[in-house]
Structure 1
């Protein structure tokens, strides 16, 4: 158990009227966090294992709350390097964030960007083989909302999914606070949101409890250093296909 309680509070990057220039800087900072602090590696590690257990001629992947689509782009490049056919739909609800994602992904034929609400995904049951959600679940405060998001991710995934997020702890908060005071000191959105994101994140035990309450089949929670946690599940239907 951590002695650091989970905090509530709004992150500035979620504000509909956020200044596009500041939001762009924050999204660039998030790309750096995913690249250097393990977010992208965590997704590719677990996706590789899922693909190995569920070979298919081609895969459909949904990325929910994609930010600037950096992880879908990493996944697309990884798939091509492995000779895999993988079409990725990258989604977000924030209009300005979607504009950044579209520009980032414009040159990649395997990544499509479109609007979608994580709490009410406008896709059929099992519309995708895999579903991803990275560094986004902690943006939801209410337990009912968290369970709704996880249930929606489960509903649209035919094989399974990966929720990759920060791991709440005092060392993680110290690290985020140091980054806010140094690398992010001139980036007001990231300076505010970085430490708050850690305080809103989950412990492995909390994420495991949410997964079980949401009925995610075969759910397992994995700790990754530094300060990452991944929730991975596989459906029985996906295993039989």
Structure 2
């Protein structure tokens, strides 16, 4: 384990292990909704980036890459309906275990689940008003990171937007997550991978300066709250 001053790219989240316990995985997907509501600031993603691109008369399309338990698409769809706006969210994940779990849950109007990768959708010339992800970037190596950004540009071409949200690595963020989840370790989060994997995710994540140094032309990084980073590309510049 490295210190938080440097990214620990060799750390691995337990739920990414092909041999991860199915029961713990299911509990993790189920609890994502509660944890992400606190740490991912999903409402801000909707308000700042997605709602301005929606319409009351025409259905707009959003792509969520690495959807996990699909808690973000479900939240986006609920908020859009409450605002009287028409939205369809396509959710994909490279881990088939995640989609299998989501498919077993109650359906959500406007949620489309597809067993595709971003590369396959880009190759098929799919287009979306917004391409987004949450807590995906820190999972990627350099090649995968570049490929995701390239796919996002193709998928959002023609006036769309790409915004990938992730954690910003910091001592304050690490300590905050450690302390914030401690009271729930033996109850709400028990039997899930959320607490150990959340701490690993922070160690694997980037700082704003690290991302800014490797982003290709047209991309920018923005800080958010709490300990959030957003990597943004706008087809309109």
TM-score w.r.t. length of structure 1: 0.83
Task: Give distance in 2, aligned partners of 1:115 and 1:184.
Answer: 33
Within a 5 Å distance, the mapping from 1:169-184 to structure 2 comes to 169-179=170-180, 181-184=182-185
Cα displacement string for residues 53-95 of structure 1 (whole angstroms, at most 9, x for unaligned residues): x998321111100011110011111111222221111111212
Partners of 1:79 and 1:49 in 2: how far apart? 7
User: CA–CA distance in 1 between the matches of 2:43 and 2:150?
Assistant: 25
Deviations 1:99-134 (A, max 9, x none): 222234x4212001122334x333433522211111
Aligned to 1:131: 131
Match of 1:65 in 2: 66
User: SS of the counterpart of 1:121?
Assistant: helix
CA distance in structure 1 between the partners assigned to 2:57 and 2:169 by the alignment: 36
C-alpha displacement of 1:188: 5.6
Q: Residues 108-187 of structure 1: matches in 2 within 5 Å?
A: 108-118=108-118, 120-123=119-122, 124-125=124-125, 127-140=127-140, 142-158=141-157, 159-179=160-180, 181-184=182-185, 186-187=190-191
Matched, 1:107 2:111: no
In the alignment, the residues of structure 1 paired with residue 21 and residue 134 of structure 2 have an alpha-carbon distance, to the nearest angstrom, of 23
| Pair 1:25-2:27 in alignment | yes
Rounded to whole Å, the distance in 2 between the matches of 1:234 and 1:50 is 13
Q: Tell me if structure 1 keeps the 8 A contact 2:41–2:225.
A: no
Aligned to 2:235: 235
Does structure 2 conserve the Cα–Cα contact (< 8 Å) formed by 1:180 and 1:195? no
Structure 1: stretches of 5+ with no match in the other structure? none
- Looking at structure 1, the residues matched to 177 and 222 of structure 2 have their Cα atoms a distance apart, in angstroms, of 21
Superposed CA RMSD in Å reads: 2.5
Distance 2:233 2:182 in 1: 37
1:184 deviates by 3.0
Instruction: Report the 3-state secondary structure (helix = DSSP H, G, I; strand = E; otherwise coil) of the residue aligned with 1:122.
Output: helix
Do the aligned residues in 2 keep the contact of 1:73 with 1:108 (CA within 8 Å)? yes
SS at match of 1:231: strand
Count matched residues. Answer: 228
2:193 is paired with a residue whose SS is helix
CA distance in 2, matches of 1:56, 1:230: 29
Indicate if the aligned counterparts of 1:89 and 1:114 stay in contact, CA closer than 8 A: yes
* Structure 2 equivalent of residue 210 of structure 1: 214
Equivalent-residue separation in structure 2 for 1:36 and 1:114 (angstroms): 27
TM-score, structure 2 normalization? 0.85
SS at match of 1:57: coil
Tell me, yes or no, if the aligned pair for 1:60 and 1:128 is still in contact at 8 Å.
yes
CA distance in 2, matches of 1:69, 1:84: 20
Q: How does 1:220-231 map to 2 (within 5 A)?
A: 220-231=220-231
Query: Gaps (5+ residues) in structure 2?
Result: none
